[in-house]
Structure 1
Amino acid sequence: MTAPLSSRSDHGLHRRRVLAGLAGIAALPLLAACSGDDPLAAQAGNADGKNYIAGDGSVLEVAESERGEPVQFTSTLFSGQELEAADLAGAPAVLNFWYAACAPCRIEAPDLQSLHEEFEPEGVRFVGVNVRDTAGTAEAFERNFGITYPSLEDRGGQVLLAMTDYVPPQAVPTTIVLDRRGRVSARVLGVAERSTLKSLITTVVDEQA
């Protein structure tokens, strides 16, 4: 691919739009997917000029040869431990953007935990990115659904902002699959259906290190 995920000339406007979206997160009872340009679709050669983004389980898978640079972010887990994107490199990883009152997040939670247990022996890391909750609310959700993988506290939107080329600011839940190099291999907007997500994870597990 020769075109970057976002051009320098569009960066300022893009960043202002993202910040505006982040500012509205706390006021929304349920985050619905937004419409807008989709740089990841463009990177994968699937852009058709339409504002197609929808939180309806839409899946985008990127061929290994067409993936961009490794993602970059630094944040803190609810446990207080700092986590950088580079810490996930070397093995596939799954990032799930969520919050406790999000109905679709509650629907997919059991399947995410099940897949975490299934792929943990393969070294796959699951990390939640909570965009709204305090530690107490997030931990109550995790206890209720038996979630054992950790989550980042992202009420300030640092991770969401760093991942805005892949995650529309209001598309929660969104699930991202990273390959062993930390590059985006696949994305699911909306509820991640178990068999679909399993297939996307298996793809990066089976790729050579």
Structure 2
Amino acid sequence: MSACRPRRTGRRRIALFAAGAAAASLTLSACGDGASGGSAQTKFVQGKGGVATVPEGDRQPAPELSARTTTGTNKLNIADYKGKVVVLNVWGSYCGPCIAEAPNFAAVAQETKTKGVQFVGINTRDEKAQAVNFEEQHKVPYPSLFDPTGKLLLRFPKGSLNPQAIPSTIAIDRHGRIAARSLGPLDKSGLRKMIAPLIAEK
């Protein structure tokens, strides 16, 4: 899969990338292919379809993730959803695979909202107007944190299932712990399989 490149939109975009370069310790490839592996150190298991999972006893707490949303002035804090399964999707309006998976996420988000599941996007490497246009065009029914320079993505602890591509999807269990990850786009079936075990947990 060819890498997606953010559109150049002038000096403001360049300034955003320059700020993001300060966070260069995170190698976030544009448009991931879902490749990943497990290790004894990270204690996660690579499953079929590119979804990695962590046994319940080995899960690490999710980092503090709060920021203004793409469409609002108030801050959204992921910790406010503790007690729910939280599905975090890292996306950008310039990313072809993100466009392809958007209707899948919208559909599954609607299907699972009565089952204690909350979807939240993390928009990165975008300008706000482009992010808002994407959400309106694809009828995204859930909020997205606005993270143009990728600072939120750096908060994931070492050795955890951290986002490493655009798109990436991270599932957080009801206790606020990182439970599963997919690097690359997901169809509806893959997304359902990823979160179904977490919905069943108490």
TM-score greater than 0.5 by the shorter chain: yes
Tell me the equivalent position of 1:52: none
Q: For residue 135 of structure 1, report the CA deviation from its aligned partner.
A: 2.0
Alignment of 1:65-144 (within 5 A): 65-78=57-70, 79-144=72-137
Match of 2:171 in 1: 177
1:114-139 CA-partner distances (Å, limit 9, x unpaired): 00000011121110000022221111
Moved over 6 A (4+): 37-41
Contact 2:88 2:169 in 1 (8 A): yes
Residue equivalent to 2:5: none
Displacement after TM superposition at 1:157 (Å): 1.7
SS in structure 2 at match of 1:117: helix
Give the direction of change, closer, same or farther, for the CA distance of 1:134–1:92 in structure 2 (3 Å limit).
same
**2: CA distance between counterparts of 1:138 and 1:101?**
9
Amino acid at match of 2:61: E
Question: Structure 1 pair 32/80, CA: closer, same or farther in 2 (3 Å)?
Answer: same
The change in CA–CA distance for 1:40 and 1:180 in structure 2 (over 3 A counts) is farther
Determine the C-alpha separation between the residues in 1 that align with 2:98 and 2:80.
Answer: 25
Match of 2:148 among 151, 155, 176: 155
TM-superposed CA distance for 1:168, in Å, is 4.3
Percentage identity across paired residues of the two chains? 34
Cα offset, 1:18, TM superposition: 8.1
Q: Which residue in the other structure is 1:44 paired with?
A: 43
RMSD, aligned α-carbons: 3.1
Structure 1 unaligned regions, length at least 5: 1-16, 48-56
Q: In 2, distance between residues paired with 1:96 and 1:63?
A: 21
Query: After the TM superposition, which of the residue ranges 192-201 and 174-183 deviates more from structure 2?
Result: 192-201
Q: Residue 40 and residue 125 in structure 1: after superposition, are their counterparts in 2 closer, same or farther (change >3 A)?
A: farther
Distance 1:158 1:40 in 2: 26
| Contact in 1 for aligned 2:59/2:178 (Cα 8 Å) | yes
Q: How far did residue 45 of structure 1 move?
A: 4.8
Once residues 116 and 190 of structure 2 are traced to their aligned partners in structure 1, the CA distance between those partners, rounded to angstroms, is 19
Residue pair 1:75, 1:158 contacting (<8 A) in 2 also:
no
SS of 1:42's equivalent? coil
Deviation at 1:163, TM superposition (A): 2.4
Moved more, 151-160 or 66-75: 66-75
AA aligned opposite 2:59: R
Q: Tell me the secondary structure at the aligned position of residue 43 of structure 1.
A: coil
State whether residues 33 and 189 of structure 1, in contact with CA within 8 Å, keep that contact through their aligned partners in structure 2. yes
Aligned to 2:185: 191
SS of the residue corresponding to residue 141 of structure 2 reads coil
Structure 2 equivalent of residue 167 of structure 1: 162
Q: Look up the match of 2:195.
A: 201
Shift of 1:46: 4.5
- Distance of 1:89 and 1:44 partners within structure 2: 23
Residue type at the aligned position of 1:155: P
Q: How many residues align?
A: 178
Q: In structure 1, how many angstroms separate the alpha carbons of the residues matched to 2:86 and 2:166?
A: 18
8 Å CA contact retained: 1:59, 1:188: yes
Residue matched to 1:51: none
Determine the structure 2 residue equivalent to 1:20. Answer: 24
On the 8 A contact 2:38/2:45 being kept in 1, the answer is no
